[in-house]
Amino acid sequence: MAATTGESMSTTPDTTLELKVAVLRASLGPALQLARAMALPVQDLLDVVELEYFRAMRGDGLSLRALAPRFGRSLRTLATLSRRAQRQDGAIARGSFALETMRLVLLALSRRGPRSASAIARSVRGRSAEEIDRALEALSALGLVERDGERFAARAAHFQRIDARPAHRVESLRHFLAPIGDVILRRFLRDERGGEAFARVLTFRASPEALTALREKHYAALRDDVVAIDASAAEDAGVASIAWCSVSEERTARAQVRTQ
C-alpha cells in the first residue's frame, strides 16, 4: 500500500448552515464509535450529550434564563437538569474536573507570569475562587507552583501528566481533544488570520516495532523543542498546542499519525 497524506481541509472557512451541520456530524464520529463499542442505548447517549452541552454552556457563564431558548426548555426544567448534572458527577468526573482546573491555573501562570489567586480566578473561566484555591494548593504540593506573598508563579518547564488512575486519564483525554476542536473551528467556522491551524493524517504500512521507534524518536525531539521554544517566548506570546497520536491495526499495522 502506498503511503497517503490527507490534506483536504480548507483553510478558508465556509460558514453556510449546511457545512456547519456536516462538520458537526463528522466531529461526532469518535464519540459515536465509542458509543457503538459500549452498546450504549440511544436515550443514554442523548442524555450524555444534553448534560455535557449544558455543562459547557454553564461553564461559559450563561445563566439558566439565557440557556432556556437554546434548549427549548422552561427554567424549571433547566433547574432540574442542573441538579441532575450535579448528581451524576461521580468520583472520576470530579477528579478529572479538579485536574483540569490545575492545568488551567498552570497555563494562566505560564502565560501571564506571577499573579494573585484573585487575578487567576478572573482569567480562568467557569471556576470558582474556592476551586482555584484548591488547585493552587495541589500545584504547590507538587512543586509546580511557588508562592511569594500573595502572588503565585509557575515553576515547571514541563508538566508530566501520564498517570494510570481513571480521573487522570479522562482529564488527559479532554486535554488531548481540546486542540482538535480548536483546529476544526479555525479551519471550518472562524476566519482568523495569522495563526497556525495545521492538520494532516499520514496512513502507511509499518510493523509495530517500526512505528514505536518512529514515535519515540520524533516525539522526544518535539518535546525538547517545545520546552526550549516555551522558555524563549515573549511574555505576550500566544499559547500553542500540538496533539500527537499514532495508532496501528493489530495485524496489518496500518498507522495513522495526526498532527495539529
Inform me whether the pLDDT recorded for 24 exceeds 80.
yes
CA-to-CA distance for 213 and 209, rounded, in angstroms?
A: 6
Average pLDDT, rounded, for the chain: 82
Inform me whether the pLDDT recorded for 34 exceeds 80.
yes
**138, 123: one domain:** yes
Note down the domain range covering 236.
4-40+161-259
Q: Which of 130, 154, 178 is the last residue of a domain?
A: 154
Give me the pLDDT at residue 26, please: 93
What is the length of the chain? 260
Domain count, the chain: 2
Inform me whether the pLDDT recorded for 115 exceeds 80.
yes
E strand intervals along 65-216: 115-116, 145-148, 151-154, 200-205
Residue 82 within any structural domain of the chain? no
**147, 175: one domain:** no
Residue 76 within any structural domain of the chain? no
Q: Which amino acid is at 33?
A: Q
Label residue 134 exposed, middle or buried (CB < 10 Å: 0-12, 13-18, 19+): middle
**114, 243: one domain:** no
Residue 148 within any structural domain of the chain? yes
**143, 97: one domain:** yes
Could you tell me if 54 and 82 are in contact, meaning their C-beta atoms sit under 8 angstroms apart? Answer: yes
Give me the pLDDT at residue 260, please: 45
**130, 172: one domain:** no
More confident residue, 160 or 78: 78
Q: For the domain that residue 135 is a member of, what is the CATH number?
A: 1.10.10.10
Q: Which of 154, 179, 209 is the last residue of a domain?
A: 154
Residue 31 within any structural domain of the chain? yes
Give me the pLDDT at residue 42, please: 92
**165, 150: one domain:** no
User: What is the CB neighbour count within 10 angstroms for residue 59?
Assistant: 11
% of the chain exceeding 90 in pLDDT = 18
Residue 69 within any structural domain of the chain? no
**145, 179: one domain:** no
CA-based angle 228:232:133, to the nearest 5?
A: 90
Q: Cell 495485524, residue?
A: 251
pLDDT in tens, 205-246: 998 899 999 999 999 999 899 888 888 888 778 788 889 898
More confident residue, 214 or 61: 214
Inform me whether the pLDDT recorded for 11 exceeds 60.
no
Q: Which of 34-38, 70-74, 84-88 has the lowest mean pLDDT?
A: 84-88
Give me the pLDDT at residue 227, please: 85
**195, 106: one domain:** no
**135, 181: one domain:** no
Question: Nine-digit cell at 249?
Answer: 491495526
More confident residue, 258 or 66: 66
**137, 189: one domain:** no
Mean pLDDT to the nearest integer, 93-99: 75
Residue 182 within any structural domain of the chain? yes
Q: Which of 53-62, 102-111, 129-138, 153-162 has the lowest mean pLDDT?
A: 153-162
Give me the pLDDT at residue 251, please: 58
Residue 240 within any structural domain of the chain? yes
**33, 101: one domain:** no
**146, 123: one domain:** yes
Give me the pLDDT at residue 218, please: 93
Give me the pLDDT at residue 113, please: 80
Inform me whether the pLDDT recorded for 58 exceeds 70.
yes
Could you tell me if 143 and 154 are in contact, meaning their C-beta atoms sit under 8 angstroms apart? Answer: no
Q: Which of 154, 182, 199 is the last residue of a domain?
A: 154
Residue 55 within any structural domain of the chain? no
